[in-house]
Amino acid sequence: MAFRILAGCTGCWACAPLCPSGAIRAATPHFLIDAQRCSECDGDYADPQCASICPIEGVIVDSAGVALNPPGSLTGIPPARWAAVRAEIQAR
């Protein structure tokens, strides 16, 4: 039972000081969660702290690999819209 941080994490430091288990390490190219330590905040908080403040969609996943903050859930930007604009920008 542990979360993971994936590539895409910007290293913004928001999560690390909140972790009740001291499980988050400021690594490069992205932060890492120590699977031995992460408790998913069970017993400390109602919501997992890292996933509650992380601003980047999709970069924190549970042990099954499911994103805690799926695309569109934080920014409100429909993923299709983002993809279309990105394609347009790249085509220039």
Question: Residue 56, class by beta-carbon neighbours within 10 Å (0-12 exposed, 13-18 middle, 19+ buried)?
Answer: middle
Judged by beta carbon distances under 5 to 8 A according to partner kind, the member of ligand SF4, other proteins, none in contact with residue 19 is ligand SF4
Compute the least distance from the CB of residue 28 to ligand SF4, in Å. 11
17 three-class SS: helix
Cis peptide before 79 (omega within 30 of 0): no
Closest CA to 2 of 85, 90, 77, 68: 68
Q: Which of residues 20-49 bind ligand SF4 (CB under 6 A)?
A: 20-21, 23-24, 31, 33, 38-41, 48-49
- For residues 7 and 81, what is the distance between their CA atoms, to the nearest angstrom? 22
Say whether residue 65 binds other proteins (CB under 8 A): no
Residue 46 binding other proteins, by CB under 8 A: yes
39 belongs to the binding site for other proteins (CB under 8 A): no
Interface positions with other proteins (CB under 8 A): 10-14, 17-18, 45-47, 49, 52-53, 55-56, 74-77, 81-82, 85, 88-89, 92
